[in-house]
Amino acid sequence: MEKIASFMIDHLRMFPGVYVSRKDNVGNSTVTTFDIRMTKPNFEPVMNTAEMHAIEHLAATFLRNHTEFGSKIVYFGPMGCRTGFYLLLNGDFSSKEIVPLLQELFAFIKDFEWYIPGQSAKDCGNYLDMNLPMAKFLANKYLNEILLDIKEQNLVYPS
């Protein structure tokens, strides 16, 4: 089998950041997949499922209700390696173009003070596995260390 593109990125040289993972033509549209990398792969601890699950619920709710981008959201969800998330947008976007959206998103998560949307047995298949305090900690860390003063090395995959 041929190795897929995402397994050809040098994860030993990658930093936390916002990367265009791929662009796919779907009908007359382009779908842009973003790699929202929150930890340095293979160097920092991965995120636990409880905080990732909380971030997923908060982000999906925030993004789908966003005034400008809500209608463009295709998907937001965790990476299997637990170092970040994928965001799929309907449209042809660059990493730099969505940084303001991600700044809004992670500020929303770090300041969130309520019940996590969808955190009930009726609404979620694993509603007990969520950790809001840790989700807020990680959102604040990513916002302040990466998003608020993002560098080129955090926007383009290492070659």
* Over residues 129-141, mean pLDDT: 98
> Is the pLDDT assigned to residue 9 strictly greater than 90?
no
Distance CA 132, CA 60 (A): 15
User: Model's pTM, two decimal places?
Assistant: 0.94
Q: Which residues of 128-154 are buried (b: 16+ CB within 10 A; e: fewer)?
A: eebbbebbbebbeebbeebbeebeeeb
pLDDT, tens digit, 9 for 90 and up, residues 29-55: 999 999 999 999 999 999 999 999 999
The CATH architecture to which 15-147 belongs is: 2-Layer Sandwich (3.30)
